[in-house]
Each structure stands twice: as C-alpha cells, then as structure tokens.
Amino acid sequence: MNYDLHKTFQGKRVFLTGHTGFKGSWLLLILKQLGAEVKGFSLAPKNEFDLFYQIKGATLCQSVIGDIRDREIIKREILDFQPDFVFHLAAQALVIDSYINPVETYETNVMGSIYIMDALRQMNKACTTVMITTDKVYENFETTDPYPEDARIGGYDPYSNSKACNELAIGSYRNCFFNPEKYNEHHQAIASARSGNVIGGGDWSANRLVPDIARALRANEAVNIRNPLSVRPWQHVLDPLNGYLMLAAALAENPTGLAEGFNFGPRTNDERTVIDMVKLSIENWGSGSFETPEIIGKPHEAGLLKLAIDKAKQKLDWEPKFDSAEAVKWTMDWYKNSDADPLAFTQNQIETFFGL
C-alpha cells in the first residue's frame, strides 16, 4: 500500500484542532503543501515566538480561536465547515501542567474530545477522523516490552490518564454511534493515533526536553536535566504526522476495516535515555554543557516507555523514516539555522521529508 497523500488531501476540507500548537503548526503547513483547505480551531498561541506565528499560520487557513470546552461553539464550527477530514490534536498536552491544573486537563482532553465526536454524530456527509492521543495511554509497568495497541489502557498522572479516558470514550462512540458495521448509515470513520515523544523545530513549550535544550544552548547556558535516565520513544515530528496522514488516507479508503487505534513510534531498540538525547543535541549544536541537579519532591513521570509499531507497519505500510540520531540532527538544525526565515526553513524540511 502506498498512499498518495496529494491525491487524498488535494482540495479536501480538513478541520484541524490544535493548529496553533507545535504539532498542529507543522501539520497545518503540510496540509497546505498537499493542497487541502484547512479550518483550524484552538486557543491562541501562548508566546509571540510560537511556530504558528513564525509560519504565519493565520494566513494559511481559516483560523478560529476558541475553546473546545465550549460544546456549542465546537459543534457550530464543525457543522458549518462540513469537513472531509478531522484531525483532533487540541489538548492540554503537558504532564507537569496536568499536576498543576488536573481539572482543566480532564475537561479539555476528555470532554473536548467528546464534544468533537458528538458534533460528528450530526454530520450528514462522510468524514474521516483521526483523534490524537499519546503513547502514555497504556498502563505502564515500566518493563522492557513494547506496548501493542491492545495493551491495557491506564495512565498515572492526570495528562496520561485523561488521554486514556479519551481512548475509552473514542471506543464507546465508535461502538455506539460510529460502528463500522453500520458505516453505510452514519458515514463516519474514526481512529486514534498514539505517538511517542515528539521532537522537532519550533517547539517552545516549557518543561519539555528539546525546547529546554534549545533555550539553554541558544543562551549559552548549561542544560538542566530533570530525569536523566528516563527512556522514551523519541521521534521527529514529521514521522508521526506522516503516520496520522497515512492513517487518514487508509481509513478514508477502508472506513470499516481500519477504525481502530494505531501506535506510531520509533523502531524497536531506538528508544534513548534523556541524557543520551542531551549529549546528541550538544554534539549537533557544536558546543554546550549540562547539569543534573537533584530536584526534591518532583512529580512522578514514567521512567521507561516503549511502543510496538508492527500494526502500523502491517496495515498502513508506515515506518519511521528517521532514527533518533537523525531526528535530533534535523531538530537542532532547525533551532540553529531557521532564524532568518522560519517559514521557508520549515517548508524545506517538509518538502525534503515527503519528497514534495
């Protein structure tokens, strides 16, 4: 199976939530390069230097600034637009913030997703939806075995747990309202995508490893590392986004056979420790140092997490194009060299990756 993403998305109406965020800004630019007509729905970007501003995101789409916790607004925006595809990325996406604002995290990640699915119940045209959750939806026993899609859903902290709840809600809506066996009645196909720890240029979030590294190296300061020995499935942002697009393309072609959850992670044994990632980043940057201060009373975060990606390989013919070393190289290249024209630099990375 080789999906022609141009053919799938050219001229199609795509409703993209989270378009002002890190992954959403990249996806917006890719969709535009594939010829889609995009309507974005999100809160305003948090900082003036966010990637959304750097790529002039508001000029690339119909950009709606709104809150997915507002059920009536999200319903109106979806039904007015009548999308062919929905990619739902909007979320409170940070583990640390979920300890500070757990209620808001659940409201956004669980109810926000439910409002989107509920709006889709009222659509009278065929639509293909990919709901973005995370690798953290699995109950994590911190073993070296990678989690396949049918592993038990769990989640320790409010972020992971809210995304696990999100998966359960997606399952219920799919059983009850978007059942593949009754596709000819509702014409809605809905799948979920669980990716690993994503890195790439233009992420400026607080308390995320790569933005912390980029900020420190750009300021000539030592990188401060929270959990040096934690192992994560790191991947370049373009790899999971390619997975989401391939899943949507495949699901549009086969709406009854692929309405399921899919993992998109690095190849087995390409997971790396945090300290490895820091050393690789410094190597790519050309100079820099790091320190690992003892942080008393830090909140629990998973120490080891691996994803099995066999299903995406078998059913979608998807594989990561980059290994972790290449992912770091492309990321550091962005932070080092994109200042003069971030839009052109980001477009160029997309064109090279997708061969556009």
Ligand X SMILES: NC(=O)c1ccc[n+]([C@@H]2O[C@H](COP(=O)([O-])OP(=O)(O)OC[C@H]3O[C@@H](n4cnc5c(N)ncnc54)[C@H](O)[C@@H]3O)[C@@H](O)[C@H]2O)c1
What is the helix (H) or strand (E) element at residue 326, kind and residue range?
helix 324-337
Q: Which stretch binds ligand X (CB under 6 A): 193-201, 250-258, 273-281, 320-328?
A: 193-201
Q: Interface residues for ligand X in 107-166 (CB under 6 A)?
A: 108, 112, 132, 134
92 binding ligand X? (CB under 6 A): yes
What are the start-end ranges of the E strands in the chain? 13-17, 37-42, 62-65, 85-88, 127-132, 188-195, 197-199, 223-224, 231-232, 234-236, 261-264, 272-273, 290-291
Residue 68 CB, shortest distance to ligand X, in Å, is 4
Residue 111 CB, shortest distance to ligand X, in Å, is 9
Per the DSSP assignment, residues forming a β-bridge with 236 are 199
DSSP letters, 293-347, are ---TTPPP--SB--B--HHHHHHH----SS-HHHHHHHHHHHHHH-TT-HHHHHH
From 42, 140, 284, 349, residue interacting with ligand X (rule: CB under 6 A):
42
Per the DSSP assignment, residues forming a β-bridge with 13 are 37
Contacts with 161 (C-beta within 8 Å, 6 or more apart), sequence order: 154, 155
Closer residue to ligand X in complex, CB, 52/186: 52
Closer residue to ligand X in complex, CB, 264/353: 264
195 binding ligand X? (CB under 6 A): yes
Contacts with 4 (C-beta within 8 Å, 6 or more apart), sequence order: 249
Q: Which amino acid is at 13?
A: R
22 binding ligand X? (CB under 6 A): yes
55 binding ligand X? (CB under 6 A): no
DSSP 107: I
Q: Which amino acid is at 344?
A: A
From 8, 13, 16, 21, residue interacting with ligand X (rule: CB under 6 A):
21
Residue 74 CB, shortest distance to ligand X, in Å, is 8
69 binding ligand X? (CB under 6 A): yes
**Closest residue (Cβ) to ligand X?**
21
Closer residue to ligand X in complex, CB, 140/205: 205
DSSP 300: P
58 binding ligand X? (CB under 6 A): no
From 54, 140, 205, 338, residue interacting with ligand X (rule: CB under 6 A):
205
Q: Which stretch binds ligand X (CB under 6 A): 3-11, 83-91, 241-249, 320-328?
A: 83-91
The size of the interface with ligand X (CB under 6 A), counted in residues, is: 24
Burial of 293 (0-12, 13-18, 19+ CB in 10 A): exposed
Closer residue to ligand X in complex, CB, 180/244: 244
Contacts with 220 (C-beta within 8 Å, 6 or more apart), sequence order: none
Closer residue to ligand X in complex, CB, 97/253: 97
Cα(233)–Cα(5) distance, rounded to whole angstroms? 26
Closer residue to ligand X in complex, CB, 89/165: 89
Cα(248)–Cα(243) distance, rounded to whole angstroms? 8
Site residues (vs ligand X, CB under 6 A)? 18, 20-24, 42-43, 67-69, 89-93, 108, 112, 132, 134, 195, 197-198, 205
